[in-house]
Amino acid sequence: MESSGSPIGRATVLIVISALSFGSISVLTVLTTDAGIPLLTIMAWRYVLGASLLGVTALPRKGVSISKRRVIQLLLIGGFGQALITYVSLYSLRYIPVGPLAFLFYTYPAWVAIIAAIRGTERLTTVRVTALMLALIGVTVMVGMPIKKLNPIGVGLALTSAVLYSIYLPALEYVQEGVPAMAATFWLIVGAAVSFVLAALFAGELSIPQAGSAWANIFLLAVVSTVIAFSSLIKGLSVLGPVRTAIVATVEPFFTAILGVIVLRNQLSAATFTGGILIAAAILVIEWSSTRISATA
């Protein structure tokens, strides 16, 4: 049996890091919007700063040549794909609360598995189904299953964002193949930056924040929730594939809840703790099955 130092073990750790980094978005965004900064302004500066940081550190290295077609694909995935998923999920909040949105959005690992099975790219093994069920039950326990009648428009938008993300992951895996992770991350973030800057300009919300605390939060969004999050996702995804990546990434809402307790003084409920244990169990099942397959191959 291989140790956690194997490529699969390292990739699993990278996806966890990515999920934890993405999990900080909600808390940092709440802190910044509470300071009176419009959401589109925050997203625009988040991606502009992220692209600038990567432009300095990632592009000059080794003079890697990337085809124009691949650059355009990455720009579209980052600009159109990422922006569309973000917009649809946020727009659903006009009709449903945050809890049901999280519950519905985190059905995406199931959609990823179903799409992969239909396409014949990954098999739905018993172990994967077990891990998937553990992850989905964990998210359900943590977020809470909606019991009130929900607006069907909001439900439709939330499920649409989940399906879009389930398409986004394998598309991202495809377009970044053969491209260094940091270079792929750069073009992905540039695409998102262009989209959000244009959206902010169109909405009349693009401005320069004045408060130092707002810039500190935006800088953290750029470094942690963007550069680290996307580069770790791309590196881990190339090894694990979309299905295992989606299952491991369900650790994100648990970390978001923990960060909310630490930063926003939210309460840590027994449901959050129980859900986190179930999600951790799903990750362990995925890791265990992967190392067993490697050991017996």
Model pLDDT, residue 116: 84
26 closest CA partner among 260, 278, 290, 297? 260
Q: How far apart are CA 99 and CA 206, in angstroms?
A: 29
| Averaged pLDDT, 277-290 | 72
**Confidence class for position 243, pLDDT limits 50, 70, 90:** confident
Q: Which residue has the higher pLDDT, 101 or 131?
A: 131
12-28: pLDDT as tens digits: 899 999 988 888 887 78
- Mean local confidence (pLDDT), 95-104: 75
User: Confidence class of residue 221 from pLDDT cuts 50, 70 and 90?
Assistant: very high
Q: Is residue 138 part of a domain?
A: yes
Q: E strands, the chain, where? A: none
| 8 Å CB contact between 189 and 226 | yes
Helix, strand, coil abundance in the chain, percent, nearest 5: 80, 0, 20
Q: Is the pLDDT of residue 222 over 80?
A: yes
Most confident of 67-71, 191-195, 258-262: 191-195
Q: How far apart are CA 239 and CA 232, in angstroms?
A: 11
List of residues 6+ apart from 37 with CB closer than 8 A: 207, 209, 214, 218
- Per-residue confidence (pLDDT) for residue 261, from 0 to 100: 74
Q: How many domains, the chain?
A: 1
Position 118 pLDDT exceeds 70: yes
The encoded tokens of residue 214 equal 């707002």
Does the residue 81 lie in any domain? yes
**pLDDT digit string (tens) for 44-75?**
999 999 999 988 876 545 556 778 888 888 88
Counting residues of the chain whose pLDDT is more than 70, the rounded percentage is 87
Average pLDDT, integer, range 234-251: 87
- 223 in any annotated domain: yes
Q: How many helices (H) and strands (E) does the chain have?
A: 14, 0
pLDDT band at 143 (very low <50, low <70, confident <90, very high): low
- Residue 201: per-residue pLDDT: 93
For 182-199, letters b (16+ CB in 10 Å) and e give bbbbbbbbbbbbbbbbeb
Write down the pLDDT at residue 292: 46
| 290 has a pLDDT exceeding 60 | no
Tell me the average pLDDT of the chain: 81
Q: For residue 109, what are the domain limits?
A: 7-296
Contact 59, 183 (CB under 8 A): yes
How far does Cα 1 stand from its chain's mean position? Answer: 30
* Residue 193: band (very low, low, confident or very high) from pLDDT cuts 50, 70, 90: very high
Quick check: helix, strand or coil at residue 188?
Answer: helix
Query: Would 73 be classed as within a structural domain?
Result: yes
Whether the pLDDT of residue 101 is over 90: the answer is no
Q: Does residue 197 fall inside a structural domain?
A: yes
Q: Which two tokens stand for residue 285?
A: 């099942």
Give the mean pLDDT of 37-46: 90
2 is a domain residue: no
Task: Dihedral sign for Cα 36, 105, 280, 228, please.
Answer: negative
Question: Does pLDDT of 2 surpass 60?
Answer: no
Rounded to the nearest 10 degrees, how much is the dihedral formed by the CA atoms of 109, 110, 113, 116?
A: -100
For the ranges 92-106, 126-140, 191-205, 218-232, the lowest mean pLDDT is seen at 92-106
Given a cut of 50, is residue 180 above it in pLDDT?
yes
Dihedral pair phi/psi, residue 103, rounded to 5°: -60, -45
Helix 7-23 and helix 270-296: axis angle, to 10°?
160
Establish if 178 belongs to a structural domain: yes
Residue 180 located in a structural domain: yes
Q: Which two tokens stand for residue 60?
A: 């000059």
Ranges 23-27, 90-94, 243-247, most confident: 243-247
